[in-house]
Structure 1
Amino acid sequence: MNLVMSWNDWADLDGTALASLVKKGEITSREIAEQAVRGIVALNPELSAVVEVFDDVVDDPLKDGMNPDGVFAGVPFLMKDLGPTLKGRLQEMGSLLMKGNQAETDSFLTKQMRQAGLNIIGRTTTPEFGLCSSAENPDVYITRNPWNLNYTTCGSSAGTAASVAAGIVPIAHATDGGGSIRIPAGVNGNIGLKPSRGVFSLAPKGSDLMTVVSFQGCHSRTIRDTAAFIDNCRGGAPGEFMPYWSSPEPYTKLIKKDPRKLRIAVSHEWGDYCATPHTVTELERAAEFLEELGHHVEWVLPDVDFYATYEAQTAAYMMNFAQTISEQLEKKGLEEPPADLVEPICIKVWEEGRTASYADRAKMQTLFNETSRRMGAFFENWDIILTPTMAKPTPLLGTKEYLTTSDNPSVYDWFENLWSIFAYTPIANICGIPGVSLPMSEMENGMPLGMHALARQGNDGLLLQLGAQMERALDGNWNHGRKPDVHVTKINSAHGQWI
C-alpha cells in the first residue's frame, strides 16, 4: 500500500481540498482511504482512537453507496461508535454489554453523509453509552490525547477528536449530549460545532422530541469543512415532529463574507461554576482579539438559574441513559445490568432513572423551557456569548471522579463533578441553540484550550461566519500553527511507524 502523497501534504489538506484533487482526477478515493488507513495503523497503537476499519470499503469506496459526485468526493470519514447506525456493521457504544451488536439499518443521517460523498471507513471510540468525559475503561480501551499521551481526549467523541487532531482524517463524525462535540474539540485543538435543534435528523430510531438533548455533528480542522458538512447532511426525514431549519444561503458561501459588527457578551462565572485564573486570562485575550476584528465586546452574564438548569440536565441524563440501558437489557433478556459488563456509574444512572415518572419529565421540561426563554430574551440584545470551552484544565488519564468507572456512591455528586468542569456547554443542549469550540488558546501546559461561542437558535451560520473571519485573521493557523506530539507528519514513511 503506497502513499499517494507525503504526510506533510496530507496534513496541509482539509476535506474540501482532498475532494478537489479527487474531482480533478489527480488522486482517487481509494488511494486517500488507503492513506488514512496507513495513518491509523501507525498511530492507533499510541492513541487507541479507532475501534475498527472497514477494509471492504477501503478497497471499494462505492460498496456501501457513497456518492462519488458528492461535495466530499470520497474523503475518508470515521463514524463515532454511537448515534447513527451503519447497516450490517457493529455498533458497540463503548460497552462490554454491547459487544457484537450489529445494526439492522442505515440511519437517515448515515445516508446523508454518504450522499455528500463521505467514505465511512471505520468507527471511533466513545465512553460507555457516551455518558462520561473520557473513553477510559482498561477492559475496553483507553483513548489518549495526541498532544500529550498522559492526558484524556475528554469525550464522549473521544476517538473522533484524537483522529482528526492527529491528522489521520480531516473530518469525522461526533455527537453532543452536553458538550461531547465541543469539549473534546476544545482539548484536542479541533473545530467542533454543535448545531441547533432541527438541523440533523436522528431518524429512524429517534427524534429531537424524544432525545431532547442529543445532537449530531463533526470535528474538522477548517471552518469550510464544517460548513460543507452541514450544508450537505442537514435536513429532516419523513415524519419529523418539528420543522427543520434551512438557510437562505449555503454556509459554504456565507463564510466567505465577514459578519457585520456583532454584539458579543463574554462571561465565565455561571452561578457557582467559574474558570481557573489562567483560563480567564485566555478568555480575555480572545475577547480582545474579537474587539480587534471590529466587534463590540462586553462582560455580561445571562439571567439564568444555572443550578436549576443543570439539575434539570442531570434529570434528563438519568432518564435518557436509563432508557437506553433498559432497551438493551430487554433485547438481551436481562433484568438488570451485569456488574461485569456495565460500568458502576452507568448502573447507578439506570437505577435512578428507570423509575422516573411523567411528572418528573414534565418538571425537567418546564425548567428547560424557562431556561430557553431566558436565553432567547438574552439573544434579543446580544449576538454571541463567548466562554471558555471548559472551566478546568484537561484531566490526566485515571482521574476517576469524571469516569463511569468511578466508585462515587452518589450519582448526583458524580454529575456535579461533571458540571464543575464542563460548565459552559450543556446549556446549548438544553435550549437547542448552536455552540462551537474554536482552537485558539492554550492551557498552561501548552495543550489546546478551546474558546466557546453560543448564538440564538438557528443561527449556526453566524457562528461559522465568525469562525471563518477569525480563521482568516489567523492565516488559518489554529492552535498557533502547532501540531500534536503524535501526528501523521511524524510517521516514518519508510517503516510506517510513528517516531
Structure 2
Amino acid sequence: MKLVMNWDEWSNLDAMGLAELIRNGEITPGEAAQQAASGVEALNPEISAVIEVFDDVVHDPVKDGMDPEGVFAGVPFMMKDLGPTLKGRLQEMGSLLMEGNRNAADSYLTKQIRKAGLNIMGRTTTPEFGLCSSAENADVYITRNPWNLDYTTCGSSAGTAASVAAGIIPISHATDGGGSIRIPAGVNGNIGLKPSRGVFSQAPDSSDLMNVVSAQGCHTRTIRDTAAFVDRCRGGSPGEFMPYWMPSEPYTELIRRDPKKLRIAVSHEWGDYRATPHIVAELERAAHFLEGLGHHVEWLVPDVNLHAAYEAQTTAYIMKFAQTISNILEQKGLERPPAHLIEPMCIRVWEEGRFATYSERARMQAVFNETSRKLGIFFEDWDIILTPTMALPTPLLGTEEYLTISDNHSVYNWFENLWGIFAYTSIANLCGLPGISLPMAEMENGMPFGIHALSRQGDDGLLLQLGAQIERALGGNWNHGRKPAVHVSEI
C-alpha cells in the first residue's frame, strides 16, 4: 500500500494538522485512512490494540455518514469496543459471550463524531465490559504498552491508548467509569480528558441517569485536538433528562489564552492511600512547574470522607456491571453467565450485585450527594486539585490482582486492590467533575506517567486552558519529547 507521507511526518501531525492538509487538498481522507490502516498492519502484531479495521470505510470514508465538511475533515478515528454503537458493526465488549454482537443503529454520540468529520475506521480493544484495568485475557487479546511490551496499557481504554501513543492515529475514542480515559492516558503518554457529567450524551441505550459514573471522551496528543473534539461532539439528544453544559465560547478559542492565576491544591494522600516516593517526587516537580507559570500552589487534602466515597463507588460498580450482565443474559435467554464465556470476577460481580436493593442504591446516592456537595464547597476557594494519575507504577502484564481473570474470591477485596493503585481518578466520576491526565512526568523505568488535574463541574475549559498553557511552556514536548519503543516512526 502506497503511503501518502513518511511516518515521521505522519506522527508529528495532530488531528487538526492532518485535517488542514485534507482541507488544502494535499491529501484525501481515503489516503489518510489507508496510512492509518498500514500503521495498524505494521504494529498491531506487537501491541494488539486494534480488533478490526473497517476496510470498506478505508476505501470509502463517507460510506457510513462521515461529514467531510466537519472540522476534522475526514481524519481517521477508532472507536473503543464499548459504549456508543455503530450501525451494522460488531461491538463485542472484550467478552467471548458477545462474539458476533452487531448493532442496529448509531448512538447519538456516534452521529456527532461523524458530523465532526472523524472517519470511524475501526475498533480498539477493551477488557471485558470495561470492568478491569487491563485488556489481557489470552482467550480474547492481550494489549501491550508500546513504551515497553512487558507492561500493560492499563484500561479500560486500552487499545485506544496504545494506538494513539504508537502514532497510528492522532485521536481515538475512550470511555471513563472510574479513570478509564485518564489512567491509560497517563501510562501511555497521551492526553486524556474525562469531561463533566452533562457534556457528552450516552443516548439512546444509556443515559447519565442510568450510568451516572460513566463518561465519554477521547485520547489525543495535543490539547487543541481534545478541545475541538469536545466542541464538536458535545450536547444532549432529544429527551435527555438533564441539561447539558454549554460554554460561553468554544474551547478551541479559550485555549489560546492562558488562564488567570489559579489556586491549585496538591495532594497524593487520599483516604488510606498514598503514592510511592518517586511518584510523589514527580508530583512535586509538576507543582513547582505550575508555580513557575504564576499559579498559587499549596499542599492540601479536600475535607471529604474518602473512605465512604470508595465504598459507595464500589457499590456503584457492582450494581452497574451486574445489571449490564443481567441485561445481556436476558437478551440471550440465559439464567447464569457461562463460565467458559465470561471472566471469573465478572461472574462474581454479577452474583454480588444482581439482587441489590433500592435501599442500597439510595445509601450509595446519599454518599455521592454528600461528597459532591463537599467538593463543590472546596472548589469555591480552589480552582484545581492536582494529584498523580495513579498511586503505584504501571503493572507488568500478568498482574492478576487487577484483572477480571483473577482468582480472588472476594469482590470487595478485589475492588480494594483497585483503589490502592487507582486512588485519585474515581472521585471525578462520583461527583461528575472534569479530570485530565497530562503526560508531563515519567516513572523510574522511563515509562510515561500522567499528572492528574480536577476542577469544578462544568469547568472542563479551565482544565484545557491550563493544559494548553503547560503545552506552550513545554514547547509542545509532552513526554519530554520522547516516543515509545514501538512507534510508526520505527517502521
TM over 0.5: yes
1:144 maps onto 2:140 in alignment: no
Q: 2:484 is paired with a residue of what secondary structure?
A: coil
The TM-score normalised by the length of structure 2 is: 1.00
Superposition deviation, residue 104 in structure 1: 1.0
Aligned to 1:403: 403
What pairs up with 1:28-43 in 2 under 5 angstroms? 28-43=28-43
Letter in 2 for 1:153: T
Aligned to 2:274: 274
What pairs up with 1:96-495 in 2 under 5 angstroms? 96-491=96-491
Superposition deviation, residue 389 in structure 1: 0.2
Residues 465-496 of structure 1, C-alpha deviations (whole Å, 9 max, x = no match):
000000000000000000000000000xxxxx
Superposition deviation, residue 277 in structure 1: 0.2
Superposition deviation, residue 452 in structure 1: 0.0
Q: 5+ unaligned residues in a row in structure 1: which ranges?
A: 492-499
Q: How far apart in 1 are the matches of 2:206 and 2:143?
A: 28
Aligned to 1:65: 65
Q: How far apart in 2 are the matches of 1:361 and 1:105?
A: 31
Q: How far apart in 2 are the matches of 1:449 and 1:120?
A: 28
Q: How far apart in 1 are the matches of 2:443 and 2:304?
A: 28
Superposition deviation, residue 14 in structure 1: 0.2
Residues 76-114 of structure 1, C-alpha deviations (whole Å, 9 max, x = no match):
000000000001100000000000001111000000000
Superposition deviation, residue 267 in structure 1: 0.3
Aligned to 1:90: 90
1:4 maps onto 2:4 in alignment: yes
Q: How far apart in 2 are the matches of 1:181 and 1:302?
A: 23
Q: How far apart in 1 are the matches of 2:317 and 2:25?
A: 48
Q: How far apart in 2 are the matches of 1:145 and 1:406?
A: 20
Q: How far apart in 1 are the matches of 2:401 and 2:347?
A: 16
Superposition deviation, residue 50 in structure 1: 0.2
Superposition deviation, residue 168 in structure 1: 0.2
Letter in 1 for 2:328: Q
Counting matched residue pairs gives 491
Letter in 1 for 2:334: L
Superposition deviation, residue 206 in structure 1: 1.0
Q: How far apart in 2 are the matches of 1:12 and 1:32?
A: 14
Q: How far apart in 1 are the matches of 2:134 and 2:437?
A: 18
Residues 354-401 of structure 1, C-alpha deviations (whole Å, 9 max, x = no match):
000111110100000000001001000000000000000000000000
Q: How far apart in 2 are the matches of 1:473 and 1:363?
A: 45
Q: 1:229 is paired with a residue of what secondary structure?
A: helix
Q: How far apart in 1 are the matches of 2:206 and 2:395?
A: 32
Q: How far apart in 2 are the matches of 1:179 and 1:389?
A: 9
Letter in 1 for 2:471: E
Letter in 2 for 1:478: W
Q: How far apart in 2 are the matches of 1:97 and 1:83?
A: 16
Residues 143-194 of structure 1, C-alpha deviations (whole Å, 9 max, x = no match):
0000000000000000000000000000000000000000000000000000
Residues 309-350 of structure 1, C-alpha deviations (whole Å, 9 max, x = no match):
010000000000001000110111100000000000000000
Percentage of identical aligned residues:
78
Superposition deviation, residue 21 in structure 1: 0.5
Q: 2:417 is paired with a residue of what secondary structure?
A: helix
Superposition deviation, residue 6 in structure 1: 0.6
Letter in 2 for 1:336: R
Q: How far apart in 2 are the matches of 1:489 and 1:421?
A: 32
Letter in 1 for 2:66: M
Q: How far apart in 1 are the matches of 2:117 and 2:259?
A: 29
Q: How far apart in 2 are the matches of 1:407 and 1:206?
A: 31
1:16 maps onto 2:9 in alignment: no
The TM-score normalised by the length of structure 1 is: 0.98
Superposition deviation, residue 75 in structure 1: 0.2
Q: How far apart in 1 are the matches of 2:48 and 2:431?
A: 34
Superposition deviation, residue 271 in structure 1: 1.1
Q: 2:361 is paired with a residue of what secondary structure?
A: helix
Residues 284-311 of structure 1, C-alpha deviations (whole Å, 9 max, x = no match):
0000000000000000100111111010
Q: 1:106 is paired with a residue of what secondary structure?
A: coil
Q: 2:151 is paired with a residue of what secondary structure?
A: strand
Q: How far apart in 1 are the matches of 2:315 and 2:338?
A: 23
Q: How far apart in 1 are the matches of 2:137 and 2:452?
A: 28
Q: 5+ unaligned residues in a row in structure 2: which ranges?
A: none
Q: How far apart in 1 are the matches of 2:259 and 2:303?
A: 26
Q: How far apart in 2 are the matches of 1:165 and 1:283?
A: 22
Letter in 1 for 2:176: D
